[in-house]
A and B are shown apart, each in its own frame.
Chain A
């Protein structure tokens, strides 16, 4: 079956430092990977959508300078939260999909900023 793994599952970083999180697709080819953030008590906001052979599209309020994303092949993507501050805490979710397939979500990386 199709699975998406995210790691680390939980992480703590000091304010002003950076944190890299990874997303691995297993059992299918992830032609598109979307990264979402769920701030405390909120819903999931789309950060950016990465499609192989296309430019990464960032949503309003999110920038490549703050959340650089790598999507080097059809099974892997990573995102870094640069210069993390308190407002960046939350659950970061990776959703991966193939061509004309549903999206499969990982369990998320929970980021705490201290």
Chain B
């Protein structure tokens, strides 16, 4: 069974700062890794995903994430955040043998201060 953990429940930065949201997973086989964003009171919005190939994947709105097999990580980064990036970010993992069963992390609430 795949698991995913997001160690930071809350992250607060100032507008223009860089940010890294951490995600670690555990699973013995090949997996899909994804990041989603949820603005307050809204549904999920897809940011990016990784399955194979270049371990650095570019997403929407300047987000990117890097897959590391050795660290079992898939951290999300943005070089310069905007106040509109304030939201909850969910890391998600699914086994490649059963991609439709997605396991979500507990989420990281990002607060961007002006």
Contact = CB atoms under 8 A, between A and B. Distances in A.
A9 B43 CA distance: 10
Count class of interface residues, chain A: 20 to 34
A34 B105 contact: no
B102 A34 contact: yes
B48 to A, nearest CB: 11
Interface string A38-66: 00001110100101000000000000000
B104 A103 contact: no
Contact of A51 (B32, B36, B100, B104): B100
Contacts of B94: 103
Contacts of B69: none
Contact of A103 (B42, B90, B102, B105): B102
B32 to A, nearest CB: 7
Contact of A49 (B44, B101, B106): B101
B100 A97 contact: yes
Interface of B: 32, 34, 36, 42-44, 46, 49, 90, 94, 99-107
